With several copies, the nearest count.
Chain A
Amino acid sequence: MKKLINDPKNVVVEAVSGFAQAHSDIVRAELDPVFVVRADAPRPGKVGIVSGGGSGHEPLHAGFVGFGMLDAAVPGPVFTSPTPDPIVAATKAVDGGAGVLHIVKNYTGDVLNFETAADLAGAEGIEVVSVIVDDDVAVKDSLYTAGRRGVAGTVLVEKIAGAAAERGDNLAAVAAVAATVNSRVRTMGVALTPCVVPHAGEPSFTLADDEIEIGIGIHGEPGRERIKLEPADAIVDRLLGAILEDMPFAAGEEALLLVNGMGGTPQVELYIVYRRAAELLAERGVRVTRSLVGNFTTSLEMQGASISVLKLDAELTTLWDAPVQTAALRWGR
């Protein structure tokens, strides 16, 4: 294992400290328990939005704390859901009296720990509503699994819910728009290489030199199938095919296309993926009116990418375009 770290036990705390220092105009960090919060939190009368989950997916979630998006992020240990304590602390720190939305990716650990935290915060008089994100179409049959996973679509949920909260929507409305985004976004990913969790010290899985994993999760959980390496266009056709099968588009409908890097993939490759995905959507009559390309929901240094398609309408487009000022996403301000 070769990493730019000191003690594996200190990875999260040191990274969070560095992050907060580098972006002190936007956030501050608490280190006991660990969470990252908007520098100006709590904002009276505004619905607070908290997300979180295991570390190793940066910039998710701390990179999305700031004006127009999250009020706080709770990073757990690498690939491990945070415990309820920091979630409760973050929830309290952002409560401006209008209640708090928890955006939770659908992993057993995240769901259970956020559940406990919501109960505890509720017991202290804070109204908490949770929205579970499960955009990953790779998981086919939710009856025989832990259900679809929350992956890169989470970023879109956070951005759009954040814009709704920023313009003054109430808790029910913010939760509703978050749920709407979740219901209209689908994602599927591919891994070319595994990643190494610092405390494990070994790759999370193995792939032969000519193998790729289609439908990978963001912790290196395997996906639908392991196949031989193919040209990028063929891989994109598989990923996008699965997405469009799950969520058909009528000709003329509008979409946001997100090509997300898993952390270790060069940008040229992400744009090659984007190119083919946009081409295929155009062939199907889908109008790509908004785009996002980059590393947003990563798996440490994993090589690979995911494609997310969000079915837009006028309201979602307006909220997407609204100003945002975070470490990782910034426009209009």
Chain B
Amino acid sequence: MSGTVDAAWARNWITSAAEVLAEHRVELINLDREIGDGDHGENMDRGFQAVLERMGELPADATPGDVLKIVATTLISTVGGAAGPLYGTAFLKAALSAGAAPELDAPALLAALTAARDGIVLRGKAELGDKTMIDAWTPAVDAAAAAVAAGSGASELLDAAAGAAEAGAVATEPLVARKGRASYLGERAVGHRDPGAQSSALLLRAAATAAGASS
């Protein structure tokens, strides 16, 4: 496990995220069919396939921030729905936070994750407990902050964040939704996991895996 992550990590992350989202496409569609409109898996898969295709446009010396930026613009222009602008903003804010640094250490990663989460909140106005992707992101940011406080490296931080996001996604199950389509369901959303929280957990787990792999 390494103390910092670099552009190779960012590229691996995106490749692995695209794979994972393709694998989980039907699962995400089904989650969204239950409490939404059944397109989340399709949207995310379409978006990350498009991202994959555009990775080739990056110069060899692209920074992690450059990678995140191309992810952002590609998601904005291919995903649509609620998830497209929200994830797009998240990656854009993370890219801005990462800046031109060739490597990110744990504090820099925490800053990027925090910026991403804040971007989602800015656009979507969701609070913790509203049964949205924020319920994965906020625990992830909190876990990252704890990791930094404990002196962990980037790889450990991502592992902690992914674990917290996974727990956060599971924890959306008993909730009533207050944002997104699921909010129309009232009590009937109880017992179903939020698809956006689930895809967020998958994304962060891919980030952790990539950090392990590229360490």
Residue contact B184 to A80, C-beta cutoff 8 Å:
no
Given A108-B179, A112-B85, A112-B123: A139 and B184 interface contact (C-beta under 8 Å): yes
Of A107, A115, A204, A222, the contact of B185 (CB 8 Å cutoff): A222
Q: Is A17 an interface residue (CB 8 A)?
A: no
B84 within 8 Å of A by Cβ? yes
Say yes or no for B188: interface residue by CB 8 A criterion. yes
Known A76-B80, A84-B77, A204-B37; contact A108-B180, beta-carbon cutoff 8 A: yes
Nearest CB of chain B from residue A83's CB, rounded to whole Å: 5
**A–B complex contacts, Cβ < 8 Å, 29 sampled:** A76-B80, A76-B81, A77-B80, A79-B37, A79-B39, A80-B42, A83-B76, A83-B77, A83-B78, A83-B79, A85-B77, A107-B82, A108-B82, A108-B124, A108-B181, A109-B80, A112-B84, A112-B86, A144-B178, A144-B183, A145-B178, A197-B39, A200-B33, A200-B42, A202-B33, A203-B33, A204-B37, A221-B181, A222-B184
**Distance from B182 Cβ to chain A, minimum over Cβ atoms (Å):** 8
Interface: B3 (CB within 8 A) = no
Cβ-neighbour of A80 out of B80, B179, B185 (below 8 A): B80
For residues 83 through 100 of chain A, which have their beta carbon under 8 Å from a beta carbon of chain B? 83-85
**A113-146 CB contacts (< 8 Å) to partner B:** 113, 115-116, 138-139, 144-146
B133 to chain A, nearest CB (A): 11
Q: List chain A residues, Cβ under 8 A from B183.
A: 144-146
Least CB separation from A136: chain B residue: B184
Contacts of A113 in B (CB 8 A): 80-81, 84-85
Given contacts A113-B84, A220-B37, contact A77 B77 (CB under 8 A): no
Which chain A residues lie closer than 8 Å to B185 at the CB level? 221-222
* Contact (Cβ within 8 A) B82 A81: yes
Min Cβ gap A219→B in Å is: 4
List residues of B (20-54) whose CB comes within 8 Å of A's CBs.
29-30, 33, 36-39, 42-43, 46
Given contacts A83-B76, A145-B177, 9 further A-B contacts (CB under 8 A): A76-B81, A80-B37, A83-B78, A83-B79, A107-B181, A109-B81, A204-B37, A221-B37, A221-B181
Are A219 and B181 CB-contacts (below 8 A) given A113-B84, A200-B38, A204-B38?
Answer: yes
A223 on interface, CB distance cutoff 8 Å: yes
Given A84-B77, A112-B123, residue A149 in contact with residue B184 (CB < 8 A): yes
What separation, in Å, do the CA atoms of A107 and B80 have in the docked complex? 12
**Is A271 engaged at the interface, CB distance under 8 Å to the other chain?**
no
CB distance from B128 to the nearest CB of A (A): 15
**Number of residues of chain A lying within 8 A (CB) of chain B:** 37
Nearest-Cβ distance from residue B159 to partner chain A, whole angstroms: 31
Alpha-carbon gap, A112 to B81, bound state (A)? 8
Q: Which residues of A235-263 are within 8 A (CB) of B?
A: none
Q: Is the CB of A78 closer than 8 A to any CB of chain B?
A: yes
**A82 beta carbon closer than 8 Å to chain B:** yes
Indicate if A217 sits at the interface (CB-CB under 8 A). Answer: yes
The one of A54, A83, A202, A221 in contact with B184, judged by C-beta atoms closer than 8 angstroms, is: A221
Given the complex of chains A and B, what is the CA–CA distance between A223 and B124 in angstroms? 22
Residues on B facing A (Cβ under 8 Å)? 29-30, 33, 36-39, 42-43, 46, 76-86, 123-124, 177-181, 183-185, 188
Given contacts A200-B38, A200-B39, contact A146 B180 (CB under 8 A): yes
Evaluate contact between B184 and A78: CB separation under 8 angstroms. Answer: no
A200:B84 contact, CB within 8 angstroms: no
Cβ distance B25 to chain A, nearest Cβ, rounded Å: 9
A282 and B122 alpha carbons, distance in the complex (Å): 47
In this complex, the member of B36, B77, B124 whose beta carbon has the largest number of chain A beta carbons within 10 angstroms is B77
Q: Cβ of A197: which chain B residues have Cβ within 8 Å of it?
A: 37-39
CB of B82 within 8 A of CB of A109, answer: yes
Q: How far is the CA of A81 from the CA of B83 in the complex (A)?
A: 10
Q: Is residue A228 within 8 Å, beta carbon to beta carbon, of the partner chain?
A: no
Cα(A199)–Cα(B166), bound, Å: 26
Distance of A294 from chain B, by nearest CB (Å): 24
In the bound complex, residues from chain B placing their C-beta under 8 Å from that of A217 are 181, 184
